[in-house]
C-alpha cells in the first residue's frame, strides 16, 4: 500500500488506529487540571527530595538499575508498611500485605485480576 506522501506502508500499519489509552491521554491533555494516569506523565514536577535521593542512590549503588525481585525490594515494602501505619495506625505485614508495582496501570491491572471474576460487572467513577 502507498501512503498519500508516496511512501510504502504495510497494510496492518496503514489500517491501525490509536489504542484507547493513547486516545484518552490525548483527549485528557486538552482539558485543564486533569491528572493523567497514563504512562509516566505526572501533573507535577519530581520533588527535589526525590531527585536528590535518586542521585545519591545512583552514586552509592552500582546495581541500582537492575531489576528487583518480583515482589519488590524488601526495604521498600517495609518503608511502605511503615508509612501506611504512620498515616492510618493500622499495621500491615510488609512481606504479605504490600505489593509493589511498576506503575498505576500495572497496579490496577493486578488488583482487578485478583478480585474480579469473568462476568462480574464493575463501575468506575
pLDDT higher at 61 or 7: 61
Least confident stretch, 27-36, 44-53, 54-63, 110-119:
27-36
Cα 115 to Cα 33, 58, 109, 119: the distances in Å are 31, 37, 10, 12
Domain boundary assignment for the chain: 67-119
DSSP string, 71-86: T--HHHHHHHHHHHHH
Copy the grid coordinates of residue 64: 541500582
The span from the CA of 82 to the CA of 92, in Å, is 8
Copy the grid coordinates of residue 117: 471474576
The span from the CA of 104 to the CA of 124, in Å, is 15
- Report the predicted TM-score, pTM, of the whole model to 2 decimal places: 0.52
pLDDT at residue 99 greater than cutoff 80: yes
Amino acid at each position: 500500500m502507498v501512503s498519500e506522501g508516496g511512501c510504502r506502508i504495510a497494510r496492518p500499519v496503514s489500517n491501525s488506529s490509536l489504542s484507547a489509552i493513547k486516545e484518552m491521554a490525548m483527549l485528557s491533555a486538552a482539558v485543564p487540571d486533569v491528572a493523567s494516569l497514563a504512562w509516566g506523565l505526572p501533573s507535577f514536577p519530581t520533588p527535589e527530595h526525590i531527585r536528590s535521593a535518586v542521585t545519591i542512590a545512583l552514586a552509592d549503588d552500582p546495581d541500582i538499575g537492575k531489576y528487583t525481585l518480583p515482589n519488590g525490594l524488601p526495604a521498600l515494602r517495609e518503608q511502605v508498611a511503615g508509612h501506611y501505619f504512620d498515616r492510618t495506625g493500622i499495621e500491615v505485614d510488609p512481606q504479605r500485605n504490600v505489593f509493589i508495582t511498576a506503575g498505576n496501570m500495572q497496579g490496577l491491572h493486578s488488583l482487578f485480576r485478583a478480585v474480579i471474576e469473568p462476568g462480574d460487572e464493575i463501575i468506575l467513577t
